[in-house]
Amino acid sequence: KVENDSTGALIYQGEVSNYCYSSTFSVGTYRITVTALNPYGYSSATKTMDVKGYTAAGKCGENANWQLDTSTGRLIINGSGSTFDYQYFGAPPWGKYLSSITSIEVQEGITELGTNCFGGFQNVVSVKLPVSLKTIGAAAFASCSNIETITIPHDVSDIGDGAFDFCSKLAEVYFKMNGDDCPFPATEDPFVGCAKGLVLNFPNGADLNYINSNHTIGLRILWVSGYLNSQGGNLGDQSPY
């Protein structure tokens, strides 16, 4: 059973699966009593715990879910596989909470962030992406104008057009990509309108000569921090200009 911790009011009583979402669970602290049954139907254990309710939650993919606590501004995406694509900024189900969201945590198991997932969320200051992520959709973080740094996991092989456009405070991006893989499209720059002097940090072994000569992004790299080029020479901290 679930009771309001301050009033003692009964919110829910009945069987539950591993987890459930309900619009009746607004932000607040609840006392949950869980009773486990043995094979004969008799109570074998009872545990009481306090949990914090979320403002809103729901599905955002076939096997992906979202949950938000407006008291902390934390948006969590969990589950597995891909999130849905959305047609415009604010279209995702968490769009109505645009001004409340300050941090985004995508948890392990999610492999793709759909188009316009978080575009236009100007109060977001931190983003955490999982190792399982492989694709960042077009305009996924566009116009998130208060993000200053982000790390792109090493298995990301596709960054969509304008994924980080007009993230005007984005000053440093850490790529964990493998070898000479280049996750952004050759003819598009996913960092248009980012901070002047944007630093792109690539890992050892990244073929920066290839990136510079074959990708539009090469025209915008102001500084590349201390890594190796394809000939094994140390580039140091340098600018292509």
Model confidence band, residue 239 (pLDDT cutoffs 50, 70, 90): very low
27-31, 35-39, 91-95, 139-143: segment of lowest average pLDDT: 27-31
pLDDT digits (tens, 9 = 90+) for 139-188: 999 999 999 999 999 888 888 888 999 999 998 888 887 545 666 665 66
pLDDT of 69 reads 84
pLDDT of 51 reads 54
Structure tokens of 128? 């955490």
- Which residues face 37 on adjacent strands? 43
What is the chain's mean pLDDT, rounded? 75
pLDDT digits (tens, 9 = 90+) for 61-96: 999 999 998 778 999 999 999 999 999 998 999 998
Would you say how long the chain is, in residues? 241
pLDDT of 170 reads 93
Mean pLDDT of 106-119: 97
Query: The whole model's pTM is what?
Result: 0.70
Question: Strands 223-228 and 234-238, how do they pair?
Answer: antiparallel
